[in-house]
Structure 1
Amino acid sequence: MIHSDIFQDNPKLSIFLPIYYTLWADSVMTTTESKEVEALIHRQYWLSAEEKEWLFEQFNPSNPPKPKLLKNLRKEIKSIPIEQESLTAIGVALAQKYQSDVSYPQDVMADFEFTEQALGLLGKEASYSFKSGHETITNVQHAEQNFNVSALTALLDGSHAELIHRVKTVISDHAFAFREFESLQDQREQTLLWCQELAKQGFGAWAFPKFADGKDDMEGYFAIMETLSYHDLSMVIKFGVQFGLWGMSIFFLGTEKHHRKYLKDVGSLKLPGCFAMTETGHGSNVRGLETTATYNHEKKTFTIHTPNPDARKEYIGNAALHGQKATVFAKLIIDGEDFGVNAFIVPLRDAEGNLVSGVRIEDCGRKMGLNGVDNGVIYFDQVDIPQEDMLDRFSSVNEAGEFESPISSDNRRFFTMLGTLVGGRIGIPRSALAATKTGLTIAIRHGEKRKQFGPEGGEEAPILNYRMHQRRLMPPLATSYALHFGLRYLTDRFLKRSEEDAQEIEALAAGLKAYTTWFTTATLQECREACGGKGYLSENRIDALKNDTDVYTTFEGDNVVLMQLVAKNRLTEFRQEFSDMNMFTIFNYVTHQAKTSITEKNPLIVRNTDKEHLLDMDFHLSAFRYRERAILTSAARRIKRHIDEGMDSFDAFNVVQHHLLNVGQAYIERIILEEFQAAVKETADEGIKAALTQLCQLFALYTIEKNRGWYLEQGYMEGVKTKAIRKEVNQLCWEVRKNALALTDAFAIPESCIAAPIARRNRGSEGKVFKATDEHR
């Protein structure tokens, strides 16, 4: 008690104790609070002058209680059953502990309760500090598993489940354990050893013909590269350079003689090689490359030469240490005439690692990430190669020393040649997505284990229960699933491509590469922050994932340039669509568009906040399609207007570049949503279907929410609807959070690859996860 004598004389004073404790609990009582309580004391006609004076002193801001007194007072209050919902009621119960017949007039009770509110002590909220075991909606939410995890893994792995399991088994071996590297040289040599081991397993040659010890399985190669990306990304990129870029350039741009001569040694890594396209002065603009390949008809050779420093081959993987040969892209010169960019196999080193005459290579040194890859800068000084080492699938030099090609158009030949190399723009986003899945798995597991804060009188809550934490991680989880199905669609289209749809697929690959790698960069940063200081520690892997994938936004083409490529492809198709129409068809199209706008902008629809409508997949797809078409049409009009006003078409495209990025993004988002919805509809397992449906709804509504400004500007939605969408996104994040652990378990990432201490499973649950991921094998 504060003062035993005065309380023994008048136990009714106990009504002040809960307020006294609460106001002093943070060690500071403000002047405003003191004056409010002082006024309350003045109004208590049942108190003596001495009692009032004593109470004034207790609530004096300059007279704080001793810490021990507060602790004892808390114990005293907690000694009574706390069932009341206000400090006033608790005070009455405390007084009755000392004198059972104590009671207070109704006006006194009302006065105390009014003062509680004036002080901001919100009824039952203030009383929670005296209760034990206080539970809230926030701190009782927990992880659930409402579907069969192994069945979802099987769905994600598809037809290559057995191969994926085999790759995971290999990279889980002790030989692939992560370790600290003593030097750059040490890291590079370890990366090479890992790639050699993967080649021994047959993974490098997987897409090559059977005579080269391959499986002739390009889809399997993509699955291998994606699965390897759960491990060290330097290893993945070196693997991709050797077997994807170097090997596939020979396979796709060369002919039988090149395949027989080189592919077996490439697939076994007996012949390490490079893909030398990028130049210091010309990155994305491949047509502007300046390296020359001059044909000498008398010697039947090509002379590869770097005419100036800007023409040096830069940032070439495998070049600094290990590459023995390279596919070099250079302008073919015959009798002084330029026949455009072609591809040639050029030696760099002999088998002992000595540079060949005329080749100079500089080491790029340390980079922001991927330091296991030995990038270098290559200069050629009149290096002669035999005529047969021109990769001649699309062009060649005949016996008479004349240029030949089955494709007469220089433009078409160039884009056909590059189109065969689109595979890199499939492998990179699939690798990026695997890294994202790893980062999300680490962050979500940490969010489930890490507890912080909590309600008064209750336990601390897992940080994954907090709405903002869910907002940070659940939409990226949904987008990861969406991209999984979108990239699977891209892979299928690429493998079944025809000459007619080659440009569309190239644009789709460019867009998905850009969209996915931008998403990876943003999501891994969010994962890092969501893990706090722990995410900053190298041992928890997010730093490596962030640093190693950062360059993915410029690998295989700068993302901004790639999105412009997508937009130009969409504009070309838009123009062709109209060029194939007669006036009657155009009139019908315009009429249909008008009817669509009238329907979709109906006052009832633009304001509709009904939950069933907001979660409806048809509504989502209509909104995505409307945005895509409207932005495309608007961009076409802008460009046409500028050109009609006399602006050069190059300048017109430059003026609307930001608009073009939106064209590309809207197109890609529509494709992703369509493929995610199709995957949901095709799923037979009801538990999995329900989980994927929630993720699909979250991806769609979160994307609409991100673009709400555009929808509001267009009058497609009104503020009341975008607010309702925001609320629904919050609710979906809350619901998806329950299955979040199970949804990341379905990725079936080997524990040795996750490796982060903050994501470590306890022994009981760890065994369960491995069992779940292995059941379907």
Structure 2
Amino acid sequence: MASVLPLLYVAWADGFLTPAEIAAARDRLAGEAWMTDADRQQVAAWLDPDSPPDATTYFGWVRTIRRAARHVPDLAEKSLADLGVDLAALVGAGDGAGLAPEAARALREVEDMLGVVGPEVLRDLVEDRPEAEPVGIPRPAFDVAAVQALLDGRYAETKDRVRDLLSDPFFAYPEPSISNEAYRDVVLSWTQKLADEGLGAVAYPTWAGGDGDIAKFIAVFEILATHDLSLVVKYGVQFGLWGGSVNALGSDDQRRELLPQIGSLEMPGAFAMTERGHGSNVRDLNTTATYDRDAEEWVIRTPSDHDHKEWIGNAAAHGQMATVFAQLEIDGEGYGVHAFVVPIRDASGEPMPGVRIDDSGHKMGLNGVDNGQLWFDDVRVPRTALLSRYAEVSAEGTYESPIPSAGKRFFTMLGTLVGGRIAVGTAANSAAKAGLTVAVRYGDRRRQFGPAGGPEVAILDYLSHQRRLLPLVATSYGLTFALARLAEDFAALEMGGDTREIEGRAAALKSMASWHATRTLQEAREACGGEGFRWSARIAHRKADSDIFTTFEGDNTVLQLQVAKGLLAGYRQEFSDLNAWGLVRYLREQAAVRIGEINPLTRRNTDRDHLLDPAWHRDLFERRERMLLVQVAARLKGRLDAGVDSFEAFVEVQDHLLTLASANAERLVLEAFQDAVEAVEDGQIKTLLGLVCALYALEHLEQDRGWFLEQNLIDAPVSKAIRTEVNRLLHRLRPVAVELVDAFGIPDEVLGSEIGSGRLPLDP
């Protein structure tokens, strides 16, 4: 009986197992032939969920285990099954020194089935022993600076420059009691400082003071997002949206006239696309730009009060110019949405004639950004105000464009602005990293509870706390590599090239990263308890400021539907045009050929090496995405064949499409993460990042294990083994958790958190 004592203990220890898991352990042991009939009956009685053992019996087990454990070598590395084997030899109460191999195997199978981490349970159980370091990578175990360099990539020097700049007292956080007006002025001064340092124009040509490198701009954006997110948005609006629209959509003459003034912040501007009435539906916005041939002017008009431009950054206080998106009309004929440069304030800061400006008001967050509303009452601008890279109108009113299709022209214009979506995804991940840095450091210092008679332990030593935070750290690592790859691929595109594949990845990763930030910052706040609720922890403001990231630069749900539509149609159709579904049958047939049958042995394999195999992870992620694609294509085709309208058919399967888009994003992150690990030359760092990548993969498989079981891609024992392996990975990575977030490279001055400082000990 001694061999099963550790499992009996864990069955009834507070909070370890559910009644269903206790019953499963009972049923598994009740059939073991190596136990006597009496022992089987006794174990069955002791593992009855409806009849727990009395306190005398329970503490008798505890005393027996503790006495015997003093003589067990390497206890800190033992599983519960290992300890059971040792106890059988030491106590010998009927088991004898030679516990049968099938008995030891059965104990290990029960432990794996329950998904407990033996060393952690033993640490809580055994008294009067020196507290052992958790089993895993010795601490310090790796060169933090080297891992930071991997995360920073080829823009490490630029990122370090921005970190140093933000660490200057000039960028110190204002008091939370600051008024919105004063806060906006502080953020404007910070933005001016960035412009003075040449960081506003980095994406522009050299003649405009820049480097012509959009990926470098995104790298700057990434580090700014570890600081104040109002600064990030202000910087993004001025240099990314306002300046980016001129750079991408303007003619050479327009770019040479405007970009030097925009990059220096001499000409603060806005990006006026979104309307109250249409939100994300840019193609059907209502603002009009009608050509007056006699005056050679455009007349910009807001047709009704409800059609005003909404949430326009830089509009409420600081902007002088705006890129205004409007329906271009000539002689009553519409040519679709185009962009126009429109003055909105004069040199004294007063609205221009015909321009009405209101403040969007106090917001949930980002109150350092002057979001405003714009109305245009027959505002006249010259013919040359049309940004004319992709469309031009002659003095006589003749419309010309190198892109004949209105739909393709529209998406070409929007595609040139996809860098903003990449930047927002990167910024969201940076906000998540900041929150994780605070929470992990705090969890490593904050001590609470502990084994009977022993010292309190760090809350990060608890499995529940590790499960809250460390998988999120792994996801932030993966997103870092995936977003960096996306930024570099985007930068490598030829101007005006086909951006459809990049657009799909940007939409998928922006959605995943911004939802990750929202979840992570909430988890970080809760993981720090009441201390995380203090403003000085610097979690609350990041949580409030980043919440909108799930909405701007594209609402996440809309973006995911766009991703799924792109996966179905190969990016050949416009977003809301659901006709011509002949491609659905082709996709279904091709995907079915690629999926094939999964090896039954793979489906049942619970071997640890197999569970940690990157190839197996990638195969499952790819199969999930392909199968979801096949299934949703079949659902759509069935509806279309039945005569359902194509729009209605699309709406009816949106749940499936959203699942497909999420699977696509998770696969993109896994591939980029695995490729980054494979490229590492240092063996120690390669091993470390391989474990972090495995945690990312297995934790996401665990989250979606119901689907994998439904599709017969894994069997129930593998599902349980995945849970156990996640716990083991957490145990191995716990000793280096702080170093993993230190590698995010956020200086204390930038983090700005009393409880998250890397230098100051936590007050007792």
TM-score interval, normalised by the smaller of the two chains: 0.7 to 0.9
Q: What's the counterpart of residue 10 of structure 1? A: none
Q: Does 1:313 align with 2:317?
A: no
**Is contact 1:134-1:455 (8 Å) kept?**
no
- Quote the offset at 1:185 in angstroms: 0.8
Change (3 A) 1:592 1:530: closer
Of 227, 235, 242, 1:239 maps to 235
Q: Distance in 2 between matches of 1:257 and 1:466?
A: 62
Q: Distance in 1 between matches of 2:606 and 2:341?
A: 62
- Quote the offset at 1:399 in angstroms: 3.2
What is the TM-score normalised by the length of structure 2?
A: 0.80
Of 326, 329, 349, 1:330 maps to 326
Structure 2 residue runs of 5 or longer lacking an equivalent are: 1-64, 70-92, 94-122, 574-579
Question: Greater CA radius of gyration, 1 or 2?
Answer: 1
1:367-446 alignment, distance < 5 Å: 367-446=363-442
Q: What's the counterpart of residue 610 of structure 2? A: 613
Of 625, 643, 651, 1:628 maps to 625
Task: Summarize deviations over 1:422-477 as a string: whole Å, max 9, x none.
Answer: 01111101111111111000000000000000001111000000000000001000
Q: Distance in 1 between matches of 2:727 and 2:124?
A: 29
**Is contact 1:136-1:455 (8 Å) kept?**
no
Of 719, 724, 732, 1:722 maps to 719
1:611-690 alignment, distance < 5 Å: 611-690=608-687
Q: What's the counterpart of residue 268 of structure 2? A: 272
Q: Does 1:697 align with 2:694?
A: yes
Residues 280-289 or 152-161, more deviating: 152-161
- Quote the offset at 1:84 in angstroms: 5.4
**Is contact 2:584-2:633 (8 Å) kept?**
no
Q: Distance in 2 between matches of 1:141 and 1:623?
A: 27
Q: Distance in 2 between matches of 1:382 and 1:491?
A: 40
**Is contact 1:141-1:465 (8 Å) kept?**
no
Of 163, 167, 190, 1:168 maps to 163
Change (3 A) 1:561 1:84: closer
Q: Distance in 2 between matches of 1:129 and 1:196?
A: 55
Task: Summarize deviations over 1:55-85 as a string: whole Å, max 9, x none.
Answer: xxxxxxxxxxxxxxxxxxxxxxxxxxx9957
| AA at the equivalent of 1:699 | Y
| AA at the equivalent of 1:669 | E
**Is contact 1:138-1:465 (8 Å) kept?**
no
- Quote the offset at 1:389 in angstroms: 1.0
1:229-308 alignment, distance < 5 Å: 229-308=225-304
- Quote the offset at 1:182 in angstroms: 2.6
Q: What's the counterpart of residue 15 of structure 1? A: none
**Is contact 2:137-2:736 (8 Å) kept?**
no
1:529-544 alignment, distance < 5 Å: 529-544=526-541
Task: Summarize deviations over 1:652-703 as a string: whole Å, max 9, x none.
Answer: 0000011101111111111111111110000001121111000110001111
- Quote the offset at 1:760 in angstroms: 2.3
Q: What's the counterpart of residue 467 of structure 2? A: 471
Of 496, 501, 504, 2:501 maps to 504
Q: What is the Cα-based RMSD across aligned positions, in Å?
A: 2.7
| AA at the equivalent of 1:394 | Y
Task: Summarize deviations over 1:222-242 as a string: whole Å, max 9, x none.
Answer: 111111111111011001000
Of 187, 197, 201, 2:197 maps to 201
Q: Distance in 2 between matches of 1:349 and 1:589?
A: 55
Q: Does 1:151 align with 2:183?
A: no
Change (3 A) 1:496 1:141: closer
- Quote the offset at 1:145 in angstroms: 2.4
Change (3 A) 1:334 1:159: same
1:354-373 alignment, distance < 5 Å: 354-373=350-369
Change (3 A) 1:352 1:666: same
Q: Distance in 1 between matches of 2:272 and 2:546?
A: 21
Q: What percentage of aligned pairs have identical amino acids?
A: 48
| AA at the equivalent of 1:732 | L
Q: What's the counterpart of residue 184 of structure 2? A: 188
**Is contact 2:617-2:697 (8 Å) kept?**
yes
Task: Summarize deviations over 1:506-562 as a string: whole Å, max 9, x none.
Answer: 111011100110111011111011000111111000001100000000010100000
Q: Distance in 1 between matches of 2:324 and 2:407?
A: 20
**Is contact 1:442-1:756 (8 Å) kept?**
yes
Structure 1 residue runs of 5 or longer lacking an equivalent are: 1-81, 87-109, 111-127, 766-777
| AA at the equivalent of 2:428 | A
Of 172, 175, 200, 1:177 maps to 172
Residues 668-677 or 542-551, more deviating: 668-677
Q: Distance in 2 between matches of 1:517 and 1:647?
A: 35
**Is contact 2:231-2:368 (8 Å) kept?**
yes
Aligned pair count?
Answer: 640
Q: What's the counterpart of residue 747 of structure 1? A: 744
| AA at the equivalent of 2:170 | A
Q: Distance in 2 between matches of 1:354 and 1:586?
A: 59
| AA at the equivalent of 1:449 | R
**Is contact 1:134-1:456 (8 Å) kept?**
no
- Quote the offset at 1:717 in angstroms: 1.1
Change (3 A) 1:288 1:568: same
Task: Summarize deviations over 1:218-265 as a string: whole Å, max 9, x none.
Answer: 111111111111111101100100000000000000011111211111
| AA at the equivalent of 1:676 | F
1:29-108 alignment, distance < 5 Å: none
- Quote the offset at 1:351 in angstroms: 1.6
- Quote the offset at 1:328 in angstroms: 0.2
Q: Distance in 2 between matches of 1:574 and 1:267?
A: 34
**Is contact 2:314-2:372 (8 Å) kept?**
yes
Q: Distance in 2 between matches of 1:746 and 1:313?
A: 41
1:553-572 alignment, distance < 5 Å: 553-572=550-569
Q: Distance in 2 between matches of 1:83 and 1:552?
A: 52
SS in structure 1 opposite 2:408?
Answer: helix
1:484-495 alignment, distance < 5 Å: 484-495=480-491
**Is contact 2:137-2:732 (8 Å) kept?**
no
Q: Distance in 2 between matches of 1:284 and 1:472?
A: 34
Q: What's the counterpart of residue 105 of structure 1? A: none
SS in structure 2 opposite 1:474?
Answer: helix
- Quote the offset at 1:402 in angstroms: 1.1
Task: Summarize deviations over 1:721-765 as a string: whole Å, max 9, x none.
Answer: 100000001111111222111111111111101121112234699
| AA at the equivalent of 2:141 | N
